[in-house]
Structure 1
């Protein structure tokens, strides 16, 4: 009896922090920290779809392909223009080389019966004109080459690929549908970096802080874990007077998916809470 009384007096005189801790119990939902909305850069019709809802994909996997008939025509036209410009460039280059050879030949035959001055002047004028045309054709070749590259890049964008690893959770397109630029047609969720999102009452804000450790459970898979408050969103819901918190944790189970229900326990020291409450007054 004496030992029990002494132990009780010691615990009362020197309280442990864990004995004073109180708990806030809330519920939350597992969410993905990396959710991507996938669309197309150009308007067109869907030619092929390679994935369905629930499919796991890896980065650079094909998702869908758009009809490229119009872009194939543009690509063919751009390549044809480039080819014609290169041919004309070769023609003017050959002509300029021929003029230079004729001038060299004329220089070696100054004492011939031909009017050397007049012929040399004519060849110089022709050479200058041909040189200008060659320079212009080189500029046209450069422009046509750039255009061909742009069309080739556009054609590449018609094959939509996965930007990261994940799972397809939403798909709003089928073969034959028209896709408009700027409108998402698929949603890809990254399963490797989940978080828990929950709502905290406004009256409990003084009891928690960013960086606090929490315990949580996911009852459906009997998962018990420990996380840390990543952020407290400073915008209260005017109807419910609650704040959103995000809890970051390390995923060590393949069974954790976005949308799962979670129970959260946040421990706090009531003495610290009272100090915060007093300082806020």
Structure 2
């Protein structure tokens, strides 16, 4: 009987000395998913991608019709023409008044014109000088507005900010693109992670940086990763915590949404921490 108790005690100690595994189910996500939207409103005239397309940085995603910007450009061109015409007329009048003023100054020295006539021309010259300066400012403002309108053309073509895969397309050709409303969703395949939920009671056995074993059964891919973050659940009633694990996908064709098995080895030392 004493031998049996001793054997069972040794067995328990042996099992406790070995690591105990925590098995979890998770899925692959991208840590860099972007909602692509346009800066200006307009109809989509060219949707260059479809769901599932793999795109490169700078590749055209979609293009917005330029009719509204073209209309704004025509209005600005008209404003520039009017401002330049006003400037030309004011400069011409100013030049004539200066010529007349110079003649009256000579005549005034000879007492051939009155001081009132001279002062009237001096006032007219000062007013026209102000009008010329105002017209010059108006021309510069109109030209700056033209530059602003022309700058909008480059935003009509929406391109990919990084390599990735199109996981959702919310607009088609002929539909209205609205600033702030996502048109396509781009997922970065170079920043993949595995996400899973772990119970509160198991938190004592894990920590950031701890190594884990990951398996994606659908492509028979196994690798090692490590816990990169532990995130409290937004719902306190579940008593669950979200963990994210980073890993090297190597040359495997890993995509967001893939089911993943996770094994985390724990031991008594981890529990004591």
User: If the length of structure 1 is used for normalisation, what is the TM-score?
Assistant: 0.80
Q: Which moved more, 1:56-65 or 1:201-210?
A: 56-65
CA distance in 2, matches of 1:217, 1:238: 29
C-alpha contact 1:81 1:144 (8 A) present in aligned 2: yes
CA distance in 1, matches of 2:92, 2:57: 50
How far is 1:184 from its partner?
Answer: 1.4
List gaps (5 residues or longer) in structure 2. 1-9
Q: Which moved more, 1:116-125 or 1:30-39?
A: 116-125
Aligned to 1:31: 29
How far is 1:173 from its partner?
Answer: 1.7
CA distance in 2, matches of 1:237, 1:111: 94
How far is 1:236 from its partner?
Answer: 6.1
Aligned to 1:4: none
Mapping of residues 100-111 of structure 1, within 5 Å: 100-107=98-105
Query: What SS does the aligned partner of 2:214 have?
Result: strand
C-alpha contact 1:29 1:198 (8 A) present in aligned 2: yes
How far is 1:193 from its partner?
Answer: 0.9
C-alpha contact 1:38 1:187 (8 A) present in aligned 2: yes
Q: Which moved more, 1:118-127 or 1:107-116?
A: 107-116
Mapping of residues 252-263 of structure 1, within 5 Å: 252-263=250-261
Q: Does 1:63 align with 2:72?
A: no
Mapping of residues 1-281 of structure 1, within 5 Å: 20-107=18-105, 114-115=112-113, 117-235=115-233, 237=235, 240-273=238-271, 275-276=272-273
CA distance in 1, matches of 2:78, 2:266: 73
Residue deviations 1:10-56 (CA, integer Å, cap 9, x gap): xx9xx9xxx63222121211110110112234433221111112222
Aligned to 1:6: none
C-alpha contact 1:106 1:116 (8 A) present in aligned 2: no
- In structure 2, do the counterparts of structure 1 residues 272 and 59 end up closer, same or farther at CA, with 3 Å as the change threshold? closer
List gaps (5 residues or longer) in structure 1. 1-11, 277-281
User: If the length of structure 2 is used for normalisation, what is the TM-score?
Assistant: 0.83
Aligned to 2:5: none
Residue deviations 1:122-168 (CA, integer Å, cap 9, x gap): 33122111112112213322332343333334444333222222111
How far is 1:116 from its partner?
Answer: 6.5
